[in-house]
Each structure stands twice: as structure tokens, then as C-alpha cells.
Amino acid sequence: MGLTSVLVERTSGMLATRLSRRSFINRSAFAGSAVMIGAGLELALTPGTAYGAICSCGDPNCGCGSTCCAGYTDFCCAVNGGYNYCPTGTVMGGWWKADNSSYCGGPRYYMDCNATCQCADGCGNGFGFCDTGCDGLTCGCGPGGCDAYLTGCFQFRYGQCNQDVPCVGRIVCRVVACVPPWEVDPTCTTANAQDDGTAEQNVACWTAAPPSPPPPPCYSPATNCQTVAMAASADGAGYGILTSFGRLFTYGDLADSGDVSSLALNAPMVGMAVTPGNGYYFAASDGGIFAFGDAPFSGSMGGQPLNRPIVGMAATPTGKGYWLVASDGGIFAFGDAPFSGSMGGQPLDKPIVGMAATPTGKGYWLVASDGGIFAFGDAPFSGSMGGQPLNRPIVGMAAGSPGHGYWLVASDGGIFAFDVAFLGSPA
């Protein structure tokens, strides 16, 4: 037995005592490849280089205790511009389930995105992977460097998805969701594979929302297609449009009292509400509240545990209270804001993304990302975009005066008006 084989065998034995079967297979295979493609004894005996290779480092400059050396593939949201979806040039090759994940409150699903092959070298004769020179990848750390997981390193496939694709490249990233894979990619079968050892793997960009593909290119440099909310002035003759990075655009008679675009934010902005005087609120996805002008602070969900992130808010007509709404339609009321019902616990075609209150404060509307409208209390239904084709998803709404109409706003700043006047948009 040669020195290389001894190294791989001993390394695999050490890893096997600490890892789940799938992780062990990945890491030992990676360690063997790393040693075999080196310069024999020179690589095996060079301090640092061989050490980094054996502990599955995508970059030999990373220490074995770093994330890039942990032996796990990076999440797609980390390598695909924040989108939890298989990138262009990849195909979903298979999936596995991890039970008892605290992030999903039960089963969590991992879907590998394998690179598509640009040539057929290496494929065939029962081998389902093309040569590494055909998949266009370079094994390394994700965009976060040593603090990121691996990308383009592993030839592995469970195979329950896109079974019509017989040959694939290495894994670019993994889509992670709280919903079954066949709801993300209809080609996936229900044949289950399981590795509970991955249940707590996570990255900062991951959310529990169902995965969705990246949108088409953005042609709105002012908003960067990150519009998240809008709110109307007290008399309905103006409104403000808010981006996730805290920039506010005002139209009509809504006065600009400042925004948070210059601040380092703990969580993105998701909602906005206007007081009857000269003030307004911003809400962050963690339930934090920012008050401007004469808007009084009446409490928040900041620092509190949430089943789903906050996605919108509305203020009472007195300006002494407000509601927050979560993506599942759950409602949180503060100050003099009454609870008039919610969609919490109800099945939704698309997640809730915003809300608006009636002038009386005795009702409100919730809007979903497909433009569907849910009315509560004395809020009348004036139409919706539900079932209509949209260039960009709906992200928020605002009520007009005297409360029989409303505006919907899309992520590029586009406006849809129902029984209210169109006053302009940044799109």
C-alpha cells in the first residue's frame, strides 16, 4: 500500500468516527482526490498544503477549523446573488431530508445543484459524472472565502431529480427549504434519502420562505428592484415608497422626514406606515420599528422570537398604534390598534407581503406577492392582481381616502391603482 493510500485510509478512518455516512463519503472522497492530484510525496509531506487538503479545504490557505474546511457544500443563496435557487448552468440532481431541524421546526430538505456538462468526456459505462474539465467549475470556497462553505468540489448525486439527465458535473450549491423538493422542482421523486447531520447547517442569507428563481434583470437603478413597501399620506393625496436598504421616495403631498439608507441595518426594511400628522414608521423584518417626524413609538417585535419574518405594517388613524404582519398572515397589534383577524394558520398560495389599514382603524387589507387581497373588519374589497401576470412580484400596498381603494406596489416600483388615482412611480 502506497503512502497516498495510507493517508487516505487513515484520514477516512478518523473522519468516519465523527461524521454521518454521507458527509464521511463526501469528505473522504474529497481528501483522496486532493492528495491524488498533488505532486505525490511533496504534497503529502508539505505542512499546511496536505493538511488543508485532507480536512477538505477549498483553499489551502484556510485553517482546518474554518467553515471552508468543514466538508459541506455552500447554500445557493450564498453563491447565486441571494436567491435560494439552482443557478444558471446547473441542474437539480437529487435531494435528502434532515429531521428535527430547528430552522424548519421539523424536516428540512437539501437539494443539490450539479453543474451541467459542457462535454461528455468521462460519462458513460455506468459513471454519471463528466470529467472536471467539462463542468466549468473550480473547487474552492464560496463568496465568503474561508468563512464560506465549499463550491464545485464534490462529485455526488442522490439522483431523485431530473433523472432524464444521465451525466452531471460537480455540485455548485444546495437549495435548502422547509418544503418538499417536488414542490420546488416537479421532476423530483418522493424517494427519500436522509442525513440528519446537516439539520443545523446554515448561512446568513437563508430564509424559510419557499425557494423562488431569480427575477429577470432590473431596469430601475433608483430602487435596484428592492422596493418593499409603500404608504399613503393622511388625505390620500400622496404616498411614500420604501426600499429594503431604507431609501424613501415621496410623491404627492407626503413630506420627507428622513430615512435609514445611510445606516448599517441589522435587518432589511419591509414595511412603512404614515401618521395623520407629519410622521411615519419603517418596520424591519425582525420586527424592529423606526419612527420619523411626529410618529410615536408604541412597541415592536425586535428581539422577540418569530415563526415567520415581519413583512409589512399599517398605522391607526390616531397615529397612536400600528399593526405588524408576518409572511404567514399573522398580525401583531400595538398601541390602540385593534385585532380584526388574520391569515395566520390559513393556507396561502403565496406569502403575505404587506398590509394597509382603513381610515376608521377598524379594518385592514393584507396583500400577497401575487397581488391577492385579503380584507378584514370594515375593509372593502376593490380588486386585486391575483391570477394576473406580473413582471415583478407585489411587495406592499397603501390605502387611499376615504378607504374604498388602494395602491399595490411591485418590487421594481411599479404601481397598480384600484379605485384611487395613479400619482407616479420610480419604475
Cell of 417: 391603482
* Cα R_g (the chain), whole angstroms: 25
- How high is the pLDDT of residue 21? 38
Cell of 82: 441571494
Listed range (87-101, 103-117, 204-218, 290-304) with the worst mean pLDDT: 204-218
List, in order, residues 6 or more apart from 19 with CB less than 8 Å away: 27, 71, 197
Say if residue 42's pLDDT is above 80: no
Q: Would you give the DSSP letter of residue 85?
A: S
* CA 24 – CA 14 distance, rounded (Å): 10
- How high is the pLDDT of residue 409? 87
128-167 pLDDT, tens digit per residue, is: 999 999 999 999 999 999 999 999 999 999 999 999 999 9
223: Cα separation from own chain's centroid: 19
- How high is the pLDDT of residue 9? 40
More confident position, 233 or 323: 323
* CA 226 – CA 244 distance, rounded (Å): 6
Say if residue 119's pLDDT is above 50: yes
- How high is the pLDDT of residue 232? 80
Fold classified for 227-418: Methylamine Dehydrogenase; Chain H (2.130.10)
Say if residue 285's pLDDT is above 60: yes
- How high is the pLDDT of residue 45? 31
Say if residue 27's pLDDT is above 50: no
* CA 270 – CA 395 distance, rounded (Å): 8
Task: With cut-offs at 50, 70 and 90, classify the pLDDT of residue 330.
Answer: very high
- Tell me the mean pLDDT in the region 93-108: 94
180-197 pLDDT, tens digit per residue, is: 999 899 999 999 999 999
**Coil, strand or helix at 53:** helix
- How high is the pLDDT of residue 95? 97
- Given phi > 0 = left and psi -120 to 50 = alpha, else beta, which region is 48? left
- How high is the pLDDT of residue 222? 86
- How high is the pLDDT of residue 211? 83
Percent of the chain with pLDDT over 70: 86
Parse the chain into domains and list their residue ranges.
1-56, 64-214, 227-418
- Tell me the mean pLDDT in the region 283-293: 94
**pTM strictly above 0.75:** no
* CA 105 – CA 98 distance, rounded (Å): 11
Listed range (4-8, 138-142, 144-148, 219-223) with the worst mean pLDDT: 4-8
Say if residue 50's pLDDT is above 60: no
Say if residue 31's pLDDT is above 60: no
Q: What is the dihedral of CA 197, 203, 204, 205, to 10 degrees?
A: -120
Cell of 374: 385579503
Q: Say if CB 315 and CB 321 are below 8 A apart.
A: yes
Say if residue 5's pLDDT is above 80: no
- How high is the pLDDT of residue 403? 59
Listed range (16-25, 140-149, 230-239) with the worst mean pLDDT: 16-25
**Coil, strand or helix at 93:** strand
CA-nearest of 34, 412, 403 to 225 is 412
76: Cα separation from own chain's centroid: 9
Alpha-helical (H) ranges within 17-87 are 21-36, 41-45, 49-54, 76-79
- How high is the pLDDT of residue 6? 35
Task: With cut-offs at 50, 70 and 90, classify the pLDDT of residue 54.
Answer: low
300-312 pLDDT, tens digit per residue, is: 998 888 888 998 8
- How high is the pLDDT of residue 43? 30
333-377 pLDDT, tens digit per residue, is: 999 999 999 998 888 888 898 898 988 899 999 999 899 999 999
- Tell me the mean pLDDT in the region 83-104: 94
- Tell me the mean pLDDT in the region 396-408: 80
What does each C-alpha distance from 187 to 94, 98, 160, 230, 318 come to in angstroms? 10, 20, 8, 38, 52
* CA 399 – CA 213 distance, rounded (Å): 30
List, in order, residues 6 or more apart from 386 with CB less than 8 Å away: 368, 370, 371, 372, 373
Say if residue 44's pLDDT is above 80: no
- How high is the pLDDT of residue 402? 65
Which of 63-67, 94-98, 407-411: highest mean pLDDT?
Answer: 94-98
- How high is the pLDDT of residue 110? 97
Say if residue 113's pLDDT is above 70: yes
Per-residue HEC secondary structure of 228-285 comes to EEEEECCCCCEEEEEECCCCEEEEECCCCCCCCCCCCCCCCEEEEEECCCCEEEEEEC
